[in-house]
């Protein structure tokens, strides 16, 4: 099997088709382009998501918390608690565990989330530290994004810059590339892990009738556009010239001959709004120093495509993330 996400057809055949529906409380369950499960226990809805950290070696406590919190943010949920599982290879020293927990807890303080449990184990089954987080959040049913309200002509936008997480990992973890950076570029690289959360823009988006949100993770922006098109049952047309890309990300792209549009991008949220609501959201978000960029629109074609160099590129299911070509 290839490294990275399991192919969509295999997810459907070997996982989703083997899952039964046994509880009426389950409102939303696993699906392509859907980041969370949603449960209804009466009152607020409960939103849950889980994620492993496999590509990073630095700041992994912080990244582990952020990536799961980002997923529940896609449903405008307020994250409450995190379950953290840590698997350590035998050669790990106890100081590394201490560093991971302190890093994770510091991020939880910023996000106002509690680590409420988990599991910690030393095992020779793994050859590097593996973290997995499950986050539980809550949301008012009236605030949850409504895919069914999406219409042709709605705005497709992204927050911050694409390739954020991949850029952070490569620029921080890969000595070969880090040695090529100027002092200023290294400072930028070290600061990027602070940008991995999308909770703030999610909370603002919840005020402006956001119709769908998808955290841009493995497979990068191209993967997120394809997955979103599947999830919303509409087409998407995006303009490559509008994609917000950091100079540092472009430098990585040139150095390793990879495509930054296929690079893991936690910290950047893909969002869909009506045109009127988008302008109001963009104004408030940018007043909070969050960069927001319109990159395209919803179409009726039922395909995801990008206009690049005056040509149409139809997007397909993503291959393994470009990060795996480097680390």
Q: What is the dihedral of CA 249, 255, 260, 263, to 10 degrees?
A: -100
Cβ proximity of 141 and 39 under 8 Å: no
Looking at residue 16, its pLDDT comes to: 73
198 and 111 in contact (C-beta within 8 Å)?
no
pLDDT of residue 13: 80
In whole angstroms, give the CA distance from residue 178 to residue 39. 44
Its pTM stands at 0.85
**pLDDT tens-place string over residues 149-161:** 999 999 999 999 9
Taking Cα atoms as reference points, which of 47, 9, 2, 49 lies closest to residue 26? 47
Contact call for residues 174 and 327 (beta carbons, < 8 A): yes
Q: Any idea which fold 147-325 has?
A: Phosphoribosyl-aminoimidazole Synthetase; Chain A, domain 2 (3.90.650)
Q: How far apart are CA 299 and CA 156, in angstroms?
A: 10
Q: Supply 294's token pair.
A: 């319109």
Look at residue 9 in the predicted model and tell me its pLDDT: 79
Please, what CATH class does the domain formed by 8-139 belong to? Answer: alpha beta
| Res 307: pLDDT | 97
What does the pLDDT profile of the chain (327 residues) look like in tens digits?
666 666 777 777 877 777 777 778 888 766 665 666 888 988 889 998 888 887 666 788 998 999 989 999 999 999 999 999 999 999 999 999 999 999 999 999 999 999 999 999 999 999 999 999 999 999 999 999 999 999 999 999 999 999 999 999 899 889 899 899 998 998 888 888 889 999 999 999 999 999 999 999 999 999 999 999 999 999 999 999 999 999 999 999 999 999 999 999 999 999 999 999 999 999 999 999 999 999 999 999 989 999 999 999 999 988 899 999 998
pLDDT of residue 57: 66
Domain ranges of the chain: 8-139, 147-325
Both ends of the chain: CA-CA distance in Å?
A: 18
């Amino acid at each position: 099997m290839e490294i990275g996400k399991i192919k969509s057809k295999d997810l459907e055949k070997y996982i989703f088709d083997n899952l039964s529906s046994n509880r009426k409380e389950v409102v939303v369950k696993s699906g392509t382009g859907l980041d969370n499960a949603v449960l209804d226990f009466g009152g607020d809805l409960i939103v849950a998501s889980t994620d492993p950290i496999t590509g990073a070696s630095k700041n992994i406590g912080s990244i582990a918390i952020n990536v799961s919190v980002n997923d529940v943010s896609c449903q405008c949920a307020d994250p409450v608690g995190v379950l953290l599982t840590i698997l350590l290879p035998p050669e790990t020293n106890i100081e590394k565990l201490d560093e991971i927990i302190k890093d994770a807890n510091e991020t939880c303080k910023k996000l106002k989330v509690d680590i409420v449990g988990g599991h910690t184990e030393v095992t020779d089954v793994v050859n590097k530290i593996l973290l997995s987080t499950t986050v539980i959040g809550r949301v008012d049913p009236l605030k949850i994004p409504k895919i069914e309200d999406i219409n042709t002509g709605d705005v497709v936008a992204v927050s911050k810059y694409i390739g954020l997480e991949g850029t952070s990992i490569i620029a921080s973890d890969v000595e070969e590339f880090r040695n090529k950076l100027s002092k200023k570029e290294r400072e930028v690289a070290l600061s990027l892990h602070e940008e991995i959360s999308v909770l703030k823009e999610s909370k603002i988006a919840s005020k402006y009738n956001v119709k769908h949100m998808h955290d841009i993770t493995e497979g990068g922006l191209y993967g997120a556009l394809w997955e979103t098109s599947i999830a919303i049952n509409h087409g998407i047309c995006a303009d490559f010239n509008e994609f917000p890309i950091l100079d540092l990300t472009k430098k990585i792209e040139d150095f390793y001959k990879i495509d930054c549009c296929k690079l893991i991008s936690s910290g950047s949220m893909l969002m869909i709004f009506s045109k009127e609501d988008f302008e109001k959201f963009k104004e408030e978000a940018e007043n909070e120093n969050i960069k927001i960029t319109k990159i395209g629109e919803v179409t009726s074609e039922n395909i995801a495509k990008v206009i690049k160099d005056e040509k149409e590129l139809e997007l397909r299911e993503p291959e393994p993330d470009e990060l795996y070509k480097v680390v």
